[in-house]
Amino acid sequence: MDSLGSLMDTLDIAFAEARRFLDSLETRPVASRGTPAEMLAPLPPHFPEHGIAANDVVRAIAAAAEPGLTGNAGGRFFAWVKGGALPAALATDIMCSAWDQNAVLASTSPAGSVLEELAGQFLLEALRLPAGASYAFVTGCQMAHTTALAAARHAVLARKGWDVEAKGLQGAPIIRVLANAHHHSSVTRALRLLGLGSECIVPLGEDRPGQVSADVLRAALAEAPDAPTIVILNAGDLNIGACDDFAALCPIAHAAGAWVHVDGAFGLWANASPRLASLVTGVALADSWATDGHKWLNTPYDCGMAITRDPEAHSAAMRMTAAYLTSGGDVRDPMDFTPEWSRRARALPALAALMELGRDGLAGMIERCCDHAVAIYDGIVRLPGATGIARPTMNQGLIRFDASDGANISDAVIESINAGGEAFLSGGSWDGERVMRISVCGWNTNTNDVARTVAAASEALSKLRAT
C-alpha cells in the first residue's frame, strides 16, 4: 500500500473510534471509571525500540484512553463550566488537524489568517462589542486574560510615559489592580505571569452577592487617583453567574483614568441573547474582555478569545518582529495579537460554530441552557435534604445537601451521583459552606437529560440520608 493509502486507512480507524465514542455518550457513564493502570495497559511501558505501525498505534491509544474519557461532550455533564462541541465546529477542528496549518502569519497560512479575520468580525457582532475592537484567539480564558491584561498594562503605563515592553516593570510606576472579590484564579495567575504579582490585587467588596459596590469602587479609586489602574469586573462568576453593573461601574472607573477588563469566560455570551442581555447591561463600555469558545460557544478545546477596545495597545503588547518573518500586508497577521508564535488555526472551529448557530441559534442555545439550569435546580431543590443556595439567574446554580442530623453531605451526594454514571456535577464553597454547583453550557442537553439528572440526584440523596 502506498503511504497516502495507509494514511487514509489510519484516518478511517481514528474516525471510527471517534464515532464509536460519540455514539456511546447517551449510554456510557458520564464519569470515567478507569484506573491509571487500565489506561496504561494497552501501551508499551517504555519508549519502544522500534516504531509501531500507525494503525496499531491509533488502536492502542484509543483503547488506552477509553476507560479514562470524561463524557463532557454529552448532555449530562454539569460540572465546572464545560460545553460540548457543535457538529460543524468539531468537524472543522478535525479538518484543521488534517490541514496542519500554522496560523501565525498570513504568509504561513493565508486561509488561517483570512478566515480568522472573519471569525473575529462575527465574534464581535455576536457579542455586540465595538466593531473596531481587536481580538486574539488563544488557548483559553487564562491566556485571554494574560493577553488583554498585557494590553491594559501597556496602556496604563504608556499614559504615564513608561514603555513597559522596552523597560519592563523594574522602576515602573506601580500599577494598582482593583478586582471583584469573586475574581477567578486565572485572573490572579495572569497578573502573576505579567509580573504584577497576585498581591497587587485590591479585592472590591459587594453590595449584592458577587457584584462590586459602586461606592467601594469609588473609594478604592480615590485612594490613589494618580496611580495607573486596572479594574477587573465579572460577567458571570462561576458559582452563581453574578455579573457586575457595568453601566454604573465603567463610567466611574473611566472618570478616574482606569482601564476596565471583564472576565466573561462564559457570562459574556449572555450579551448574545436579547432575553439575557440585561444581565450584562453596559458590558460593551469596558476596555477589554476575555471569554471562551470552548465554554458557551461550544467549540472543541482549546479556544479562548481576548478582545480589546484599543488595537494599538493590544498589538504593542504582543507584536514581535524577526528578519525571517514576512508581513501579511493587507491581511492581518494573527501573531501581532497573540502571545504564541506557532499556533493551530483555532479560530476556524469558532467560525464554524458561529455560522452553524447564527444570531438566533446562538441566543436560543444560551437561553435553553439557562432554562435547563433552572429546571435541574428546581427539580433537585424540592428533594428532602436539599436547600437552595442560588437559583440560576444565568446558567449556574448552587444547592446544599444535609443529612437527617443536619450534617452537610454535599460532597458525598456529588460523589454518589458521579459514581452512578448518569450525570456529572462538581462542588464548591459559598459563604463558607460546601455546595453542589450546577453549570449548564452544552448545546445538546435536553429535557430528558434534565429528568435523568434529577432522578440521579434523588437516588443519591435518599440513599445517603437512609444511612
Ligand X SMILES: Cc1ncc(COP(=O)(O)O)c(C=O)c1O
User: Which residues of this protein are in contact with ligand X, per CB under 6 A?
Assistant: 80-81, 140-142, 184, 186, 238, 263, 265, 292, 304
CB of 189 to ligand X, least distance (A): 9
- Of 258 and 265, which has the nearer Cβ to ligand X? 265
Contact 221, 252 (CB under 8 A): yes
- Of 292 and 422, which has the nearer Cβ to ligand X? 292
- Of 150 and 265, which has the nearer Cβ to ligand X? 265
- Of 120 and 140, which has the nearer Cβ to ligand X? 140
CB of 53 to ligand X, least distance (A): 36
CB of 290 to ligand X, least distance (A): 7
My answer on whether omega of the bond before 405 falls inside 30° of 0, hence cis, is no
- Of 238 and 374, which has the nearer Cβ to ligand X? 238
CB of 305 to ligand X, least distance (A): 10
CB of 234 to ligand X, least distance (A): 7
| Long-range contacts, stretch 398-401, CB < 8 angstroms, 24+ apart | 398/239, 398/240, 398/428, 398/430, 398/435, 398/436, 398/437, 398/438, 399/435, 399/436, 399/438, 400/433, 400/434, 400/435, 400/436, 401/436, 401/461, 401/464
Which amino acid makes up residue 413? V
CB of 9 to ligand X, least distance (A): 35
- Of 101 and 186, which has the nearer Cβ to ligand X? 186
- Of 230 and 386, which has the nearer Cβ to ligand X? 230
Which phi and psi (to 5°) does residue 302 adopt? -115, 140
- Of 93 and 263, which has the nearer Cβ to ligand X? 263
- Of 31 and 81, which has the nearer Cβ to ligand X? 81
- Closest residue to ligand X, judged by C-beta, is 140
Task: Supply 146's cell numbers.
Answer: 494574560
Torsion of CA 440, 124, 358, 304, to 10 degrees: -40
- Number of C-beta neighbours around residue 12 at 10 A: 12
Distance separating alpha carbons of residues 165 and 248, to the nearest angstrom: 32
CB of 238 to ligand X, least distance (A): 4
Which phi and psi (to 5°) does residue 156 adopt? -70, -30
Distance separating alpha carbons of residues 170 and 377, to the nearest angstrom: 50
- Of 201 and 412, which has the nearer Cβ to ligand X? 201
CB of 198 to ligand X, least distance (A): 15
CB of 389 to ligand X, least distance (A): 18
Task: Match 473510534 to its residue by C-alpha cell.
Answer: 17
CB of 84 to ligand X, least distance (A): 15
- Number of C-beta neighbours around residue 233 at 10 A: 26
Q: Which residues of 34-65 are buried (b: 16+ CB within 10 A; e: fewer)?
A: eeeeebeeeeeeeeeeeeeebeeebbeebebe
